[in-house]
Structures are given as C-alpha cells and as structure tokens.
Structure 1
Amino acid sequence: MPDAEKTRQCKQEEQQQQKEDEREGLIEFYSSYQELFQFFCSNTTIHGAIRLVCSKKNKMKTAFWSVLFFLTFGLMYWQFGILYREYFSYPVNLNLNLNSDRLTFPAVTLCTLNPYRYSAIRKKLDKLDQITHQTLLDLYDYNMSLARSDGSAPSTQTRSSRSLLHHVQRHPLRRQKRDNLPENSPSVDKNDWKIGFVLCSENNKDCFHQAYSSGVDAVREWYSFHYINILAQMPDAKDLDESDFENFIYACRFNEATCDKANYTHFHHPLYGNCYTFNDNSSSLWTSSLPGINNGLSLVVRTEQNDFIPLLSTVTGARVMVHDQNEPAFMDDGGFNVRPGIETSISMRKEMTVRLGGSYSDCTEDGSDVPVQNLYSSRYTEQVCIRSCFQLNMVERCGCAYYFYPLPTGAEYCDYTKHVAWGYCYYKLLAEFKADVLGCFHKCRKPCKMTEYQLSAGYSRWPSAVSEDWVFYMLSQQNKYNITSKRNGVAKVNIFYEEWNYKTNGESPAFTVVTLLSQLGNQWSLWFGSSVLSVMELAELILDFIAITFILALRWFRSRQQLSPPGPAPNSHDNTAFQDEAPGLSAPHRFTVEAVVTMLPSYNSLEPRRPSRDGEVGHE
C-alpha cells in the first residue's frame, strides 16, 4: 500500500511537471541555433525559406535552394545599394513654369566708354601720353603726335629721360628657322616677337615679362597700369569733375514720360568713364504698363570723344547693361556696346532661377555662409564674391588694394610710388586667380535665387538721311551743345519688355523618402514576394539570434566557474540543502519565464509516524 501510494504521487508530480513544461511562457528562447532556424524557415512568410528545411533527406535540393535563396538575397541588397546611392546623391527635377504679370522694370546702366581727363591730374596724364608717344615711335616708328587732329607738336622726349617704371619693349621669341636673322631686324615676321614690359620683385631678384602678341593690347595694358597709379594718387578722383547728365544724355523717356535726375545715380568707372544707372531706387521702381518699344526706356546719348583719353579707350559709342536692382553693374562682364549713328532696340525676357538649398545643390541664400567678406554695398552675387575674394587676397599678398575694386577697411590703393613691386605681385596673383589657385571660384557659390534678363538686340540707322539735319539741329538747341560730328556724335537706345510672360526655372527633389521606401518595397516584393511584416520577421530572427548567443555565453561562463577549484568546506551552520547544483545537471533544454506560482514540494519528514512491528517508531 505504501509503495502504490508513492507510485501514484510520483506520477502526479510528473504530470504536473509535464503540464508546466508545455505551458507557454511570456518570453521563450530556443535552446540552439538549429531550433531557431528550423522554426523560422517553417513559419516565415518569406518565399523560398521553407525549402531550406523541408528536404532533409535530399541534400542536393537543400543545397540548391540554399544557394538560390542566398543568391537572391544578395541580389536584392545589391539593388538596395543602388537605390541608397541614388537617394544620397540628391538628384533634382527641373521645373519650368511660365508666369504672366506686370513686371518691374530692371535697372539699366549706361557708360560713356570714355574715361574723362580730370583737370586735377591733367599734367600727369600729359606726361604719360608723351612717354607713350615715344614708345610707339621707338617700337613702330609711328609719330602719334603728328597724327592727332589737334595739331600739337610731336614730343621730343627720349627713352632715357623717362621717369615712369616698366617701359614697353619688344622681346624676341625662340626662332626655329630664322636663327641667321639679327635681333630687331625689320624683316622678322610679327609672330617672332612679343610686346610687353618687365616686372620685378621689390629686391629685383625675380623678374618676368608680361608679354602680349598684339602691340595694341600691350600698349593699352601698360597705359592702363600707369593710369591706375595716377588715379590712386588722388584719393577723391572718382568724385572729381563729374560730367553733367545733360552732356551725355540728350533725351530720356520711360513709358512716354520724361526722366529726371531723381531716376538715376552716377558713378565713375576707370575704363568706361561716367556711368548712369536708371531705376536703381528701391523706393520708387518703374513698372511697365505694357510690353513693347513704346513702353520701355528710350535714351538719346552723346558719343563724341572730345577731351578724352584715346590710349585708354579704343572704341566709340556707349556701353549698356541690364541688371537687377541692388546689384553692382560689372560692365566688363554683362554689358555690350552701342554704336554711334545707330538706333539699338533691346527686347528683354525675364527669367528667374530658384535652386534647392541644403544637400541638393551647393548654393547660398544670402552669402552669410560663404567664407568671403562682401566688400560691395549690395546683396550677394557670385561676381561680387569673386571680386571681393581677389581684392582680399591682393591686400594680404601685395599690401595694397587694386583700384578697380572696393577698398577694404584699413587698406590703401596700390601706387608704385609707395608700393614699388605691386605690379609684379598683381600679375603673379592674377595668374593664380585665373587658375583658381586662390580658391575663389570654389568658395564663391551661386545664389539660390537669381534673376536674369535674356536680351535680343536689333539695329537700324538713326537718324535717317532725310531727317538727320533737323534732328541734330533740335538736339543742339535743346541741350545748348554744338554737335560737330553729327552722325558719329549721337546714338539712340530703346530697352523694353518683349512680353509680360516670364519663366521660372525651379528645382524639386527627384528622389524623396517616400520614393525610396516605395522602391525598396518593390525590390523586396520582386525577389521574395513579401511585405513589411516579413521584414519584421527577419528582424525578430536577428533579435532571437542575439538572445540565444547571450544565453549560451552566460551558460559557458557559469560552467567555467563550476570547473574552478572548490572553496573551503561548509561548517555546521551551513545548510547544504540550499547549495547550488551543477549547472549541467539543472539547466533545462528550454528556457521559459512564466508568470506561474509553483506548488511547494512535499517532505517525508512532515508525515505522521506509526509504530513498527518491533515496537519502534518508523517511517512509511
């Protein structure tokens, strides 16, 4: 009877333990990688995974599907890499929008193309002219003084008496088939010579020839070099002898209304002379009422060249440039010339460009993030930044500023009476600037928003042969100025909008996050025919793999501790019933964490005793 009761009790305990083992816990981990992989392949929604475990008896099929599965996996992630590379290249779509509205008229700058001979520096310019005349006589046997219409006597100044530096000279090139010809031979072809001047460092240890293939270019550059030095000696040269508006502009009309002095601002350019900018006042800008030649700006300008500098300017007429408000007029970059005796009609089309900033394009909003100080009192443009960059490098390297650009704080303009070798430094720096050694073209980025004007010009004879007499007479009476050269003394310019339509070139992201996710989903569906939940199953597999690795590592660490030498024997106060057993004997095959309260074990020592046959108290 006692044995039967013990057997029944043991069976109940086994059944209870079996139920506890079969009961699912809150968190369950697998006992091995094989069990994890078997469960994943049997239950995942990823196509092809089941074929890795369903053919255990056919190893060839298992190997074939394993290679096919992982090859497909690799191809899919190769496509993923292409998509990510395209996304992080930040491509853009170009959007062209055509808008129609009344347009604000742009700013228009008009220059005389003739640097004025200031009375304050007339003596120095006369001296420079004499040296230039002698240079032309020495190089080309041309007496410019006799050729001038003013009938002045030729200069008798010789080369040895010159006080200016850097004389123009001829420098022979390496001859290939003319070695038998002497130097300075008049029979030498023009291509065997270059005209230029020598520039040396301050200690004269390093010199080079600033040479030109054309004598005209060499003489103009040499004359301009000394002309800049003369202007630099006059701190207020830009404000001296300002030409009157009426002496250059004979007539001005906008929208059939007469212009006045409030509609323009004046500045002087060292090479282009007196310049006038119309419609640059941001407080009262012009607006075209209608497109067409009668609703724009119409100017009649003087193009005579009395008392100007022929060695500095070799063209006649005027120079005009159309630009946006609050932008400096760089006449040598965007302007074009107006011919005398011709009516030039310029039609405009407005075009705006809006670029995406940030990672999509290397543009700047206002230039505040460009590492170049803006020396111009205007808003940021790429040309403003480039010229400011060159000027700052000029001051740093040469110790003085170039006269054509704004003067930085604390600097002074270059003058060879103070800075003897500034010409040598300038031309060296200019060569580095053009080769982008200074990094100005890299530092100066394009603005994210810019406005440009596409111009088309038409020309016609003005005034006509039958009307020129009365037109010139009326202009002379109106402006109290005698036009002696008639047709070569005036020109007419019309600037107007061709139409009110204007284009906006914008940018939009070509590959957004939504597009990226869509493309990734398409690739995943193509190669495995699954969805986002399949991706979550794959993520769960990775997390389970990490958890099993951690558990196995923890088990290995505990087993190493048990294999270490035992510590001191427990004393009588230690209860051996609570000593840890060997991990290898107590670790179950499946690790479960259950929210179940287990029953207390039964102890035989707590059962009631009865007397044995021999009269002793015993245990069942």
Structure 2
Amino acid sequence: MRAMTNTTNNHVVPVISMAKEAKKLESSNHQPRSIVREFALNTSTHGLPGIARSQSKHNCIFWTVSFFIFTGIMIYSVTQTIKNYFEYPTQTSVSIFVERSQVFPAVTFCNYSPVRYDHLIGPFLNYTNSINATNTNDTTTFTAEQTLLLRDFLQVQLNTGAPITQYFFSLDTMLIECVYNDKTCTTNDFISFLSSTYGQCFTFNAKTKTTNGSDLRYTNDDGGSGKLILRLYAQSHLYVPYASEDVSVGMIAMIHDNTQLPLIDVAGTLLAPGRRHRLGYKKKTNQFLSSPYTDCTTKTPLAMQAMFNEYEGADYAYSQECGCVSPLQWSARSVVLPGTNTRIEAPLCNFTDTCYLKATVRISKTTSIWNYFCSDCLQECSTVSFTVTPSSVAAPSLPYAYMTKTFVESLSIPLPSKWSTDWLYEVQNNFVSLEVVCESTQVENYTQQASLSPVDVLSNVGGQTGLWIGISFLSVMEFIEMLYRILRYEFHIIRRAITNKLYMNNTIK
C-alpha cells in the first residue's frame, strides 16, 4: 500500500503511519490503567504491589487500609520533623583552648564618692542661694537636705553644657602608682567617663577609636604573665557628707572586655581601704548564632557610636514621651529619633518628674514599644566575659605608707586637719591596692550550634518515609516515570484526534 494523496490541495496525510501508531497506543499495555498497574506492581514503595496483585476483594482492602494508615503515620512524622527544624533548636558546645598571648582586659575603677567637697561647695551654695533653697555662705556645714539639691545642681550643669569634671576626683589625685608587667604606666594609659553614681571613672587598656586597638596591652608584654597593680588613695576627707550614704570610704572596680561598656554601677566589685585586693580572672568567650536562631546582632547602631560609654537605646522612649532622659543616665543623652538617623542631645529629667519612671516601666513591660524604640537593643553575637576570683590582704606596709604620705603631701589639695599627727591613720583608712592578674592561659569557649541542619532534616525525612512505606528518591523517580508515560499517552491521543480532524476537513474539501 502507499499513502493516499489528496489531489485537491496537494497535502499528503500519513494515514498508514497514523493507523499503526493508534493501534500501538490502543494496546492494553499503554493505556493509563495498565501503566498505573505496572507501576504499582514494580515500584519499590511498600504496600502498592500488594494492592496491585490482590486476587480477592478482602486482600485488596487489607493492603489498601494498611497502606493508607502507614502513609498517614509517615506524613505526621515528616511534618513533625520539618516543624522541629523551623523552630530552629540549638545546642551549646564547650571547648577549651590555650591562648598564651591574650589581650589583657580593660580595668575600670571609680572613687566610691562621686564629688569632692572643696571644689563643689562654693558653686553649689551659689546655686542653692539663687533658687532660694538656702541663704548661707557657710562652706563648713553640709546637711542631708542639701544632698537632694546636689543632684539637681549637677543636672543643671549637664543640661546647660557647663563643665562638671572639676567637681569630681581626678586621676592624678588618686593614682599613687600604676605598674603593668613590672613596667610603670601613667595617667595617659587611662580614659575617663562619667557615672551618675560614682562621678568620674577611669579605664585602663580600653580599645579606643583613635588607635583601633594598636596600643592594647597583651598578657605576655615585656615577658610578663599579665599583671596590673594599681595603688590608689581615696581622699576620704574630701567626701561630701551623705553623698555616699552609709559608706565612709572605698573604691569600686570592674574587669571587662576592651570594647565593652563598663556598667560599673551594677557589675562593679567594692574595694575596702587598708587592703591589697587581688582579682584573678579567667577568660570566657560566647558565640551565638545569628537570625533565625537568635535575635543577636553584629551591627553597631548610631546611638552606640555617639560615645564610648553610651548606654542602651531604652532611653529613646523617655526622651520622646517626657522630653528628657533619665537623670541617672548621664552618658545616654545622645539619642537617635526612632526611624531616622537624626541624633540629638536630650536634657536630663528632673528627679521630681515621675514621667521618666513611668516611661521606664512602660517600655520594659510592653514588647511592641520596646521593639519600636529599641530595635537595636539586641544581644551581641560574640561576647567576652571574665570569671573573677577576689581575695585580699592587709595593706599598706610601713614603707608603702611612707610612700603614700609623700604622694599625698605632693598634691595641691587640702590635707586633713590632723594630718601631721594622724597621717598613718589617714593613710591606712584611704589606701587601696588593686592587683589584677591572669590566672590561666586556658580559655573557655561556649559556641551555640544548630541542633538540626538541612542535611539532618533530609536524613530524618528519608528515615521516616523508608520506615513506614519504603519511599526513596528512586521511588519518586518511578512515580515521575509513571506520570510521564500517562501524559505521553494522553498527548498522542490528543494529537491523533487533531490529525484525524484535519484529515477529514481536507478530504471534504
């Protein structure tokens, strides 16, 4: 036979080929039902072969019910596995490594009394007289009522931009001697900041922006092991009465990371006079996973860039709602308006104004307010902390008492009234020695890790599917092959129908 030709339009239609293909497609082995049955008989998925080869109705029901029950259990198990992954569980691993050359930590100290009487009393009386709170020029008497006005006086000075450091104890009036790894250090090795509780504080070995850490001290500098000795004098005869409450004399110190804000008001260690205090430290590092596992951050918000001793952005809300910041946060007056990069200097609130107290409670209790005003107040992803072991012994010895006497007499400050006869008592009552030493080169490292990785999830899902109905990637490929064969069959059926329609149209013409 040869192909039929339509002489009307000169189109040749392969009728014989089309007929052969149609016969081939109509074969029972290529119909969708046969394709599905063949897949069910040969697939590696458990249960389906049992359904396909069932010889009785009861046998078919048994395998069908079994297959769907175990499929349901598998779907539940797989869903739980995927759900657990998106809860982002974590675990913490602990490792210890030796760091023979460690960066020596920053050491911050303050005099327990925030202000010195001889520099304060004159300007303070001028202020209280100007607001009609007092009417006196007596510089020898200071009452408990005047202590309340002292906070207002310092607040006014800060709000007006007037200098106030002259009212606090300077480093050169307290630092008798500084020694690091047997080498003398000077006042130039310290930076200062203001604390509303302790006045002017000083930090040794802080990482500054100007040097970018190039001048940081290391534990093995000059062949040493990392030991800082500070010999200090408290000058308690210049303390303002009632300003330190029931504390007569003392210092406060803190060991912290070189880039960390020294929150000495809450984390400081009190140092009593007449003692040599030893703070032995061990270094510990913490590494947290970033989002989505935790909400830690590695970026520095604009408000934190304003000053080295910036406090957290929780004060933003106080500034917007009250028009001022907490009177206790002297170093947090540089605030950034929410949603902008605009930085402003906010005034300190009055202590009698309860607005900042109410705002503190609201922002700490309301998550939405906290997230809006303090979106950058997040945990750091990498932190360094120190485990400190304190101890002390009586000091000073008699030779160091004479050295301290010489130091005090060399200063241009008023001496105690009975210094000539009671100088040894004064020295013992004001001398504070602080020794900070590295106890170990071993560093504890706490690292947060993901409990489930994508590979773990894939393995768990594969284990569940394999356990219950034996599905693997090859089973999926078998199913895809079945779909492909069915679609191919339907495609050829549709193409044959279109071809026949075209042929009939051409024949009629």
- SS of alignment partner, residue 288 of structure 1: coil
Letter of the structure 2 residue corresponding to residue 471 of structure 1 = Y
Match among 83, 86, 100 for residue 84 of structure 2: 86
Aligned to 1:473: 402
2:227 aligned with 1:301, yes or no? Answer: no
Aligned to 1:275: 201
Aligned to 1:105: 104
Aligned to 2:431: 490
Q: 1:64 to 1:411 in 2, by over 3 A?
A: same
Q: Deviation per CA, 1:135-179: give whole Å up to 9, x if none.
A: 9xxxxxxxxxxxxxx995698xxxxxxxxxxxxxxxxxxxxxxxx
Higher Rg of the two aligned structures: 1
Letter of the structure 1 residue corresponding to residue 232 of structure 2 = V
Q: Deviation per CA, 1:492-530: give whole Å up to 9, x if none.
A: 111111111111212333222222222222222222335
Match among 340, 345, 352 for residue 278 of structure 2: 345
Q: 1:547 to 1:223 in 2, by over 3 A?
A: farther
Q: Which runs of 5+ in 2 are unaligned?
A: 1-14, 208-212, 335-342, 411-418
TM-score, structure 2 length as denominator?
0.76
In 1, Cα distance between the equivalents of 2:152 and 2:428?
A: 33
Aligned to 1:261: 187
Q: Deviation per CA, 1:349-382: give whole Å up to 9, x if none.
A: 11111122232222111235xxx74354349xxx
8 Å Cα contact 1:220/1:312 also seen in 2: no
In 1, Cα distance between the equivalents of 2:222 and 2:21?
A: 92
- SS of alignment partner, residue 277 of structure 2: strand
Shift of 1:327: 2.8
Q: 1:55 to 1:434 in 2, by over 3 A?
A: closer
Letter of the structure 2 residue corresponding to residue 397 of structure 1 = E
In 2, Cα distance between the equivalents of 1:490 and 1:83?
A: 64
In 1, Cα distance between the equivalents of 2:485 and 2:43?
A: 14
8 Å Cα contact 2:67/2:469 also seen in 1: no
1:12-23 to structure 2, matched below 5 A, reads 20=21, 23=24
- SS of alignment partner, residue 44 of structure 2: coil
Aligned to 1:229: 155
Match among 207, 211, 217 for residue 286 of structure 1: 217
In 2, Cα distance between the equivalents of 1:293 and 1:460?
A: 23
8 Å Cα contact 1:223/1:312 also seen in 2: no
Shift of 1:402: 3.9
Q: Bigger CA drift: 478-487 or 273-282? A: 478-487
Aligned to 1:414: 348
Letter of the structure 1 residue corresponding to residue 461 of structure 2 = L
1:174-213 to structure 2, matched below 5 A, reads none
Letter of the structure 1 residue corresponding to residue 476 of structure 2 = V
Aligned to 1:392: 316
Match among 352, 357, 371 for residue 427 of structure 1: 357
Q: Which runs of 5+ in 1 are unaligned?
A: 1-13, 136-149, 156-215, 563-574, 581-620
In 1, Cα distance between the equivalents of 2:150 and 2:58?
A: 88
Aligned to 2:172: 246
2:251 aligned with 1:331, yes or no? Answer: no
Letter of the structure 1 residue corresponding to residue 356 of structure 2 = Y
Q: Bigger CA drift: 512-521 or 451-460? A: 512-521
Shift of 1:65: 0.8
8 Å Cα contact 2:114/2:168 also seen in 1: no
Shift of 1:295: 4.1
Match among 47, 54, 62 for residue 64 of structure 1: 62
Shift of 1:254: 0.9
Shift of 1:67: 0.3
- SS of alignment partner, residue 439 of structure 1: helix
In 2, Cα distance between the equivalents of 1:24 and 1:299?
A: 97
Aligned to 1:312: 243
Shift of 1:229: 3.0
Letter of the structure 1 residue corresponding to residue 348 of structure 2 = C
8 Å Cα contact 1:80/1:520 also seen in 2: yes
8 Å Cα contact 1:109/1:329 also seen in 2: yes
Q: 1:234 to 1:317 in 2, by over 3 A?
A: farther
Letter of the structure 1 residue corresponding to residue 75 of structure 2 = Y
Aligned to 2:12: none
2:472 aligned with 1:531, yes or no? Answer: yes
More helix by share: 2
- SS of alignment partner, residue 480 of structure 1: helix
In 2, Cα distance between the equivalents of 1:389 and 1:447?
A: 14
Q: 1:428 to 1:550 in 2, by over 3 A?
A: farther
- SS of alignment partner, residue 219 of structure 2: coil
In 1, Cα distance between the equivalents of 2:222 and 2:183?
A: 15
Letter of the structure 1 residue corresponding to residue 70 of structure 2 = T
RMSD: 4.2
8 Å Cα contact 1:293/1:495 also seen in 2: no
Shift of 1:286: 1.2
8 Å Cα contact 2:253/2:270 also seen in 1: yes
- SS of alignment partner, residue 304 of structure 2: coil
2:439 aligned with 1:515, yes or no? Answer: no
Letter of the structure 2 residue corresponding to residue 85 of structure 1 = K
Shift of 1:319: 0.9
8 Å Cα contact 2:289/2:449 also seen in 1: yes
Shift of 1:226: 2.5
2:282 aligned with 1:356, yes or no? Answer: no
Match among 503, 515, 529 for residue 444 of structure 2: 503
Aligned to 1:53: 52
Q: 1:412 to 1:364 in 2, by over 3 A?
A: closer
1:163-174 to structure 2, matched below 5 A, reads none
Shift of 1:63: 0.6
In 1, Cα distance between the equivalents of 2:345 and 2:29?
A: 77
Q: Deviation per CA, 1:243-301: give whole Å up to 9, x if none.
A: 44332011211111111122112333232023111112522111112999984111111
Aligned to 2:507: 578
Letter of the structure 2 residue corresponding to residue 337 of structure 1 = L
Q: 1:29 to 1:45 in 2, by over 3 A?
A: same
8 Å Cα contact 1:271/1:313 also seen in 2: no
Q: 1:374 to 1:295 in 2, by over 3 A?
A: closer
- SS of alignment partner, residue 414 of structure 1: coil
- SS of alignment partner, residue 262 of structure 2: coil
- SS of alignment partner, residue 79 of structure 1: helix
8 Å Cα contact 1:298/1:494 also seen in 2: yes
Percent of aligned pairs sharing the same letter: 21
In 2, Cα distance between the equivalents of 1:310 and 1:70?
A: 84
